[in-house]
Amino acid sequence: MTSFELSDDHRDFRAAVADFAAAEVAPYAEKWDAEHHFPLELIAKMGQFGLFGLHAPEEYGGAGDFTSLCIAIEELGRADQSVGITLEAAVGLGINPIATYGTAEQKDRFLPDLVAGKALAGFGLTEPEAGSDAGATRTRAELADGQWTINGAKQFITNSGTDITSVVTVTARTGTREDGSAEISAIMVPNGTPGFTVEPAYRKLGWHASDTHPLSFSNVTVPEDHLLGKRGKGYGQFLSTLDDGRVAIAALALGCIRACRDLAVAYAKDRTSFGGPIGRKQGVAFQLADLDVAVRTAELLVYSAAALKDAGAADGAPRQGDAQRAEFKRAAAIAKLYATEQAVTATRIATQVFGGYGFIEEFPIARFYRDAKILEIGEGTSEIQRMLIARGLGLPVE
C-alpha cells in the first residue's frame, strides 16, 4: 500500500485554491444556483489560475499531479459543488482521455485551449438504456470511405452544451467481436458537426450551475482519424478513465463533507436554545463529532488513492503492473463509496442542526443537500463500487 503525506507544495497550493474559491466562487454560488447560470466568466479565471492544466502534459501547458487536481476539486467543492464538478469533468472526462490516448495531432488540436480554460470537452458514455451497464451501448459508428457515421444518443453529459464546448468524445459500437460481444470504440465529435444535436439542458435537483445535456447523433460524419485510441479499445479506455474519476468525485464529496462540518459547527456555537448554544447538547455535539470522523476518514481514503495514481502513472500513461492497477481500482472504489455516502449523510446532519434555516435556500446547507445525492450515482453508483470491492476480495459477484 502506498503511503502518502501532502507536501509543502501541496499545502501551499491548497491555501491558494481556498483563497481563490473564497474570492471568486463563494460570494456568487447562491446566485448562480438560483439562476441556473453556468459561470463562463469564472471558467476563464480558473484557466488563468492553471486549474484546467492540473495533471495535463507539461508540453501543452499543464502542471501538477493527480493529487493537486483532487485538492483543487475538494476546495472548489467546499464553496460550490457545481464548480467542483465542472473542473472534475473538464479534466477527468474531457482532457485526460485525449492526453492519454490521443494522437499527437489530436493533442495539438484540442489540448492547448482545453488546458487554458478557453474551451471545454465532454465525454459521452451514458445512454438511455446503458448506464451502469456501459457494455450495452447502442450508439453505433460505421466506417466507410474514410469517414465514421454515428447514430445514437447519450444522456447526462457534463460540459457538453456550453458556449465554449469544443468537442465531445463518445463511445459507440463499431463492430462485433468473434465471441459475439460488442466492439466499442471512442470517437471525437467536434462541436457544430452536422447532425450532432445538443438537446435542451436538464431540470436537475442539484448542480444547478453546471452544464448537463442529452445529446443526439443523426448520421453524424467525422473523419476516420477522429478515433481516440485504438479501435475496439474504447470500453477499456472508459474503465481506466472512470477509475481516476472515482477518486476525483470522492474529493468533491470530501469538499461537501468538510463544508457541512464547518458550517454546522459554526452554527452550533452561535445558535442558542434553552439558555445556551445548541452545540453543548450531546445530541448535536455527537453528530458533529461523527462529521469530523467522516472528514478525516474520507481525506485518508481520497489522498492515499491519489498517491497510488501518482506513484504508478507519473507521466500520465497507464504503466502500472496488474497488481498495482488492481490496488488502485480497489482504492478508488472504496474512496468513492465511502466519501459519497458520507456526503449525503453529512448534508442530512447539517440540515438537521440548522433546523428550519437548513430548509431555506439563502443558507448554503440547502444547496449542499440538493447537490449531494448525485455523488452516489455519477461515475459509478454505490452498487457498482460495492461490486468492484467485492471482486477485489476474490468474490465472483455479478
The model's pLDDT over 14-50, given as tens digits with 9 standing for 90+, comes to 999 999 999 999 999 999 999 999 999 999 999 999 9
* pTM confidence score: 0.95
Q: Please give the DSSP secondary-structure letter assigned to residue 208.
A: T
Task: Give 121-157 as a DSSP string.
Answer: EEEE--BTTBSS-GGG---EEEEETTEEEEEEEEEEE
pLDDT-wise least confident of 32-36, 238-242, 320-324: 320-324
Q: Residue 167's beta-bridge partner residues?
A: 121, 190
Longest Cα–Cα distance of the chain, Å, equals 80
CATH number of the CATH domain containing 178? 2.40.110.10
pLDDT band at 315 (very low <50, low <70, confident <90, very high): very low
- pLDDT tens, residue by residue, 106-125: 999 999 999 999 999 999 99
Query: Is 243 in the same domain as 384?
Result: yes
Q: Is the sign of the CA dihedral 351, 85, 379, 240 positive or negative?
A: negative
Known active-site residue 379? yes
Active-site pick, 88, 127, 327, 379: 379
Residue 65 sits in a domain whose CATH number is 1.10.540.10
pLDDT tens digit sequence for 281-297: 999 999 999 999 999 99
Task: Tell me, yes or no, whether 240 and 212 share the same domain.
Answer: no
DSSP 374: G
What is the Cα–Cα distance from 147 to 225, expressed in whole angstroms? Answer: 8
- Are residues 57 and 76 both part of a single domain? yes
Angle, in degrees to the nearest 10, between helices 322-354 and 234-270: 30
Q: Does residue 372 fall inside a structural domain?
A: yes
Q: What pLDDT was estimated at residue 320?
A: 54
Length of the chain: 398
Q: Say yes or no to pLDDT of 1 above 50.
A: no
Q: Select from 228, 261, 287 the last residue of a domain.
A: 228
> Within a domain: residue 49?
yes
Instruction: Tell whether the torsion through CA atoms of 4, 60, 236 and 315 is positive or negative.
Output: negative
DSSP per-residue letters across 28-86:
THHHHHHHT---HHHHHHHHHHTGGGBTS-GGGT-B--HHHHHHHHHHHHHH-HHHHHH
Whether residue 185 is predicted with pLDDT greater than 90 in this model: the reply is yes
- 205 φ, ψ to 5°? -65, -40
Q: Once rounded to an integer, what is the mean pLDDT over residues 172-198?
A: 95
Domain housing 66: 8-120
For residues 202 and 22, what is the distance between their CA atoms, to the nearest angstrom? Answer: 28
pLDDT given at position 184? 96
Whether 23 and 152 map to the same domain: the answer is no
More confident residue, 334 or 312: 334
pLDDT digit string (tens) for 267-278?
Answer: 999 999 999 999
